[in-house]
Amino acid sequence: MMYVQPLPPPAVSPRIGKIIKTGREQIHMLESGNADGNPVVLLHGCGSIAEEVMMPFAASGMHIIAPDRPGYGFSAALPAGERGPRGQSFWLERFLEALELDEVVLSGHSIGCAPALHLAARRPDLVKGLFLISPCCRPVPFKPFIVLRSAVAPFVGPVIRQHVIARWSSYFFERGLRASSCPNPVISELLTLPAMHMVNAASIATMAEELWAFNGDMQPLASLPAGLPVSVLFGREDRIIEPGWHLDWLHERHPALAVELLDGVGHMPHHVAPDLAVEMLGDLAGKRLDDLAGGTPDASMATVSGAM
């Protein structure tokens, strides 16, 4: 019997938007909605791209701007020493200045919340509100990250990045989606994302560098402005980060948080409960719920708790 190696799935092309030049770097961004509306800037999480975080909000009618964070997608990486959350907050500031934006609503998912928090603390004049989705913000205990550390280790790292991870990008992409979505099934729309564009040698190095800089950058973060509206959406069953660990830290820096905790939901609540995510973001952006595409949150969200 002849055994035939199955063909890999056809490559999916990434969405291509605009390239913004700040004077120091180029930033790729996607945009949707009414350009005359209040701007909302979305920041994706670790190992992701703008296309992913924009999915639940693209048809909301809000003016959505989603950049690929530095070193991901089509955006240039930052210099060494600037790749953690603090350095990315200056990158975000340059991005807003290049677009001539101020008083924006910032939203981030997971570690993408960290530069947004730094910018809000350092330049409150630029930030109208924060919408934090599964925020990874508090310094975390050591984790081995064996595969990731091996991929950036001297000598063997380039071989692993280029000939193992990049070659099997679809496998690592789907594995990451399952882990992030657990205990929920992977939303089918997420499987249409371009695996090879998201999992490659450059993005793996970027992931490692921002994770290694994370604790040192977040440790000294000061309190957030008392009058800044901050909303948080978390899944109670998040298996990537511990909700209580990060919420306690956020409450110390902003006691007036508006928090929604979803029963039975993991690290991707914006995909599992998109109507609720759109509603919460719309409240911060100054848009009424009946103005948003999709109407009211569906009845399946009856497990959502009230604000803490």
Task: Give me the pLDDT at residue 42, please.
Answer: 98
- Report whether pLDDT(12) > 80: no
| Alpha-carbon dihedral 136, 138, 143, 148, rounded to 10 degrees | 40
Residue 40: pLDDT band (50, 70, 90) is very high
Angle at 176 between CA 172 and CA 180, to 5 degrees: 175
Instruction: Give the pLDDT mean for 9-33.
Output: 90
Give the range among 116-130, 174-188, 225-239, 274-288 with minimum mean pLDDT. Answer: 274-288
Which residues, including other chains, have CB under 8 Å from residue 217's CB and lie 6 or more apart? 84, 85, 86, 87, 114, 118
pLDDT at 251 (0 to 100) = 97
pLDDT at 102: 87
Strands 258-262 and 127-133: unpaired
Output the six-digit token pair for 295.
């109407």
Please give the average per-residue pLDDT across 212-220, as a whole number.
95
Question: Dmax of the chain from CA atoms?
Answer: 71
For residue 43, which amino acid is it?
L
Section 136-147 average pLDDT: 77
Taking residue 32's Cβ as centre, other Cβ atoms within 10 Å add up to 17
- Average confidence (pLDDT) over 137-166: 66
Q: What angle do CA 47, 128, 271 make, to 5 degrees?
A: 35
Q: What is the pLDDT, as a whole number, of residue 165? A: 64
Per-residue H/E/C for 226-259:
CCCCEEEEEECCCCCCCHHHHHHHHHHHCCCCEE
Residue 19, classed as helix, strand or coil, is: strand
Q: Is the pLDDT of residue 296 over 50?
A: no
Q: Across residues 36-48, what is the average pLDDT?
A: 94
User: Stretch 284-307: mean pLDDT, rounded?
Assistant: 44
Mean pLDDT along residues 8-12: 56
Q: pLDDT at position 229, please?
A: 97
DSSP 161-221: IIIIITTTHHHHHHHHHHHHHTTSPPPGGGGGS-HHHHSSHHHHHHHHHHHHHHHHHHTT-
The reported pTM is: 0.87
pLDDT of residue 170: 85
pLDDT class of 34 with cuts at 50, 70, 90 = confident
- 26-32 and 258-262: which strand pairing? unpaired
Portion of the chain with pLDDT greater than 90, in percent: 71
